[in-house]
Amino acid sequence: WVLMKTARAPSNIAVIKYWGKRDENLILPINSSISVTLDYLFATTTVAVSPSFTSDRLWLNGKEVSMESKRYKNCLQQIRSRATDVVDEKTGLVVKKESWKDLYVHVASKNNFPTAAGLASSAAGFACLVYALAHLMGAKESYEGEFSTIARLGSGSACRSLYGGFVKWNMGKEDDGSDSIATQIVKKDHWKDLVIIIAVVSSRQKETSSTAGMQTSVKTSPLLQHRAQSVVPKRMVEMEEAIMKRDFATFAKLTCADSNQFHATCLDTSPPIFYMNDTSRRLIGLVEKWNASEGTPQAAYTFDAGPNAVLFAPDDKVARSLLQRILYLFPPASDADISRYVVGDQSI
Ligand code: DP6
């Protein structure tokens, strides 16, 4: 017999960035963070279990990869230890709690977005893996947010992908990571008018992975310590308040400032890390000039560990105007470095 479950989990973009760990094994951050869930960029994962499987195996976007990494093993072990008796509704098959430890899993995961675009992060993948495994093995949370602590063991940002809308990852204080947990601030429909545009900036540059980049920053950047201790705590409070009040001006100011400080930290790292390119910087210039000329923020930008821009506008009308301005700066037929725009589930 084979028992199978499929799940889908979204990606997310941080507006207050996580950068730096205080524990590499448990993936505990040196500061809290806030993200917006990007429903239309997602991972779909099928997990299967069968007595005929002889090892745990994993396929990512159709290619088999090793499941030997500590990150996969930790997630799998945590869910396995919470497995319960499972009865398959369709076939009536019963898998007893005590048999899960002897059963191997096969996992197949794919992103609905080209991985090369640098957007389909590990966040959606690990959130999806944990959710799908929990479903398969009948694991239940013993407190709210417990699964986010397991997704966190796969990739820090993955803990925020278990919820929709606006999500906060509290850094926590405990050594065992039990309070380093993600919770929802508000559902997506709290701020219905907010428009998110993703500008996919094509890049031939070789990227430094987030994991490696933040390791070097923790070791070498004095700005990182200052940011974690004196800047982010205040921003967390202000950002949550701006989201609650749907205060776009404050949201925009904080989002841009935090993206810029994250990239400043990368530059403050030795050797320096460059994630943005000229196109990214021209997009920043466009938004900054527009905002300055209007006297109040019209749009906001944020960039993760890559050159793609995630842009925010307070409503459809402003979003259209923003798109027009970007298209004027980067005409489709020019040698523009932007391959496409994604607004909601539409690709332009
Ligand atoms: C810049 O979560 O990918 O996107 O925990 O090592 O897997 P690991 O790193 P990852 O780092 C994300 C960094 C970021 C900011 C953010 O998402 O908060």
* pLDDT, mean of residues 138-148: 95
Q: Quick one: which atom of ligand 1 is closest to the CA of 154?
A: 7
Q: Is the pLDDT of residue 318 over 80?
A: yes
* pLDDT, mean of residues 260-283: 96
Q: Is the CB of 169 under 6 A from ligand 1?
A: no
Q: Is the CB of 156 under 6 A from ligand 1?
A: yes
Distance 189 CA to ligand 1 centre (A): 25
Q: Is the CB of 17 under 6 A from ligand 1?
A: yes
- Band of the pLDDT at 118, cuts 50, 70, 90? low
Rounded CA separation 39/58 (Å): 24
- Band of the pLDDT at 117, cuts 50, 70, 90? low
Q: Is the CB of 122 under 6 A from ligand 1?
A: yes
Q: Give, using CA atoms, the residue closest to atom 5 of ligand 1.
A: 156
Q: Quick one: which atom of ligand 1 is closest to the CA of 304?
A: 1
Q: Is the CB of 211 under 6 A from ligand 1?
A: yes
- Band of the pLDDT at 343, cuts 50, 70, 90? confident
Q: Is the CB of 37 under 6 A from ligand 1?
A: no
For residue 28, give Cα distances in angstroms to 170, 171, 173, 210: 10, 7, 9, 14
Q: Report the amino acid identity of residue 38.
A: L
Distance 159 CA to ligand 1 centre (A): 10
Distance 166 CA to ligand 1 centre (A): 17
Q: What is the 3-state secondary structure (H, E, C) of the chain?
A: CCEEEEEEEEEEEEEECCCCEEECCCCEECCCEEEEEEEEEEEEEEEEECCCCCCCEEEECCEEECCCCHHHHHHHHHHHCCCCCEECCCCCCEECHHHHHHCCEEEEEEECCCHHHCCCCHHHHHHHHHHHHHHHHCCCCCCCCHHHHHHHHHCHHHHHHHCCCEEEECCCCCCCCCCCCEEEEECHHHHCCCEEEEEEECCCCCCCCHHHHHHHHHHHCHHHHHHHHHHHHHHHHHHHHHHHHCCHHHHHHHHHHHHHHHHHHHHCCCCCCCCCCHHHHHHHHHHHHHHHHHCCCCCEEECCCCCCEEEEECCHHHHHHHHHHHHHHCCCCCCCCEEEEEECCEEC
CB 78 within 8 A of CB 131: no
Q: Give the per-residue pLDDT at 95.
A: 97
Q: Is the pLDDT of residue 254 over 90?
A: yes
- Band of the pLDDT at 205, cuts 50, 70, 90? low
**Residue 27 region, left (φ>0) first, then alpha (ψ -120 to 50), else beta?**
left
Q: Is the pLDDT of residue 116 over 80?
A: no
Percent of the chain, pLDDT > 90?
87
Q: Give the per-residue pLDDT at 113.
A: 77
Q: Quick one: which atom of ligand 1 is closest to the CA of 209?
A: 3
Distance 84 CA to ligand 1 centre (A): 32
Q: Is the pLDDT of residue 8 over 70?
A: yes
Q: Give, using CA atoms, the residue closest to atom 6 of ligand 1.
A: 211
ipTM above 0.95, yes or no: yes
- Band of the pLDDT at 342, cuts 50, 70, 90? confident
Least confident of 102-116, 133-147, 166-180, 294-308: 102-116
pTM of the full structure = 0.96
Residue to mutate, 208, 210, 214, 269, ligand 1, most ligand atoms under 8 Å from C-beta? 210
CB 147 within 8 A of CB 131: yes
52-66 pLDDT, tens digit per residue, is 999 999 999 999 999
Q: What is the chain's mean pLDDT, rounded?
A: 94
Q: Is the pLDDT of residue 31 over 80?
A: yes
Q: Is the CB of 210 under 6 A from ligand 1?
A: yes
